[in-house]
Structure 1
Amino acid sequence: MESLVVPQSLSKKEKYEALLLQVASLLKGERDLVANLANLSAALKTSMGFFWVGFYLVRKSLMQKPPGAKSGNSGSDSSHGELVLGPFQGPVACTRIPYGKGVCGTAWARGSALIVPDVEKFSGHIACSSEAKSEIVLPFYLHPELQGHSREIMGVLDVDSDQLNAFDAVDELYLNQILMLLY
């Protein structure tokens, strides 16, 4: 598959449904995560018209602090590691995001999707672009078939819009379904 066809005249739900089938075909048989994340970023940006689409991947800290050691001045919990920029489509982006910081780090810490209608009103928002107005972030898992706390978050899908209130439950539902195609 060399191109995707998602008519812009469709409703948001219909666009996602058309995209879901095509992304399934696009990713089928490809086991390389970076290749799949790159194609998924491009598919979402071009088909849905998002301002920025990309992935941040969890990188564990290689230098764990000894028990009882004080944290540095960053105020973040470095024992979790950090999110590092992965494949994306759009303007240049923040390279590293600490655990629990910004929209991406908060969604990672909570282990659940986060929809932000107005990023200017999100306490601690990390502004990678002044053009981003609203955002949705969804974690994805190393082993999504496992239930409960045994699932390990591999990274987050970050989608930005240059419009306020661009994301809702429809986006969350279908983006989660698309993320499940990675496995």
Structure 2
Amino acid sequence: MDCQICLQKYNGNSKNRIPRILKKCGHTMCHKCLKKQEEDDQIVCPFDRKVTKLRGGVKSLTKNFAILDLIGQEPAKPRKSKNRESKDSEDSEDSDDSKDSEDSEDSEDSDDSEDSDDSDTSEDSDSSDSSDSSDSSDSSDSEESEDSDDSKDSEDPEDSDGSEKKDSDDDDDDEEEEEEGVRIQHPDSEDDSD
């Protein structure tokens, strides 16, 4: 690529041919042309007449790395710093991974101790769940629910859990037998038999 002012090729290895970007308008010119355009710490862009103010001279303007990449010349200083940063970030990620694995081992140990505590409470909750499920099955048959309520009051609480499970199993068997005995005939099926 060439500078649009002097028509010289950009060159990242030559100080005077390094492409630099004007901050105000975004146009690119070589370092030498920018030096010629510089007046009183400002540059007037020859393309659109926008004024870019300079602090610290032309060297303070950003190099156009996209153009340097296109022409195959990579500036040494900025690329190395980016590579170093990426390597540093990869190293830090590796160290984070090792810390995570140690943390996970510690958390697994603590989970085991919590599991033993949870098993006691889960047994309690299981017994309450079974009584809830038996209550719902009893509510479907109102007559049987009254009988089972009377039997619950007279029996021990431990025995009532066992008897409730048996009652609910018996209820399920009765319902299945009733469903098998009932046949629903559709009007279409009667027409076929005639």
Q: TM-score range by the shorter chain?
A: under 0.3
Q: Which has the larger radius of gyration?
A: 2
TM-score (ref. length: structure 2) = 0.17
Higher helix share: 2
Taking CA–CA contacts closer than 8 Å with sequence separation of 6 or more, which of the two structures ends up with the larger relative contact order? 1
Higher strand share: 1
TM-score (ref. length: structure 1) = 0.18
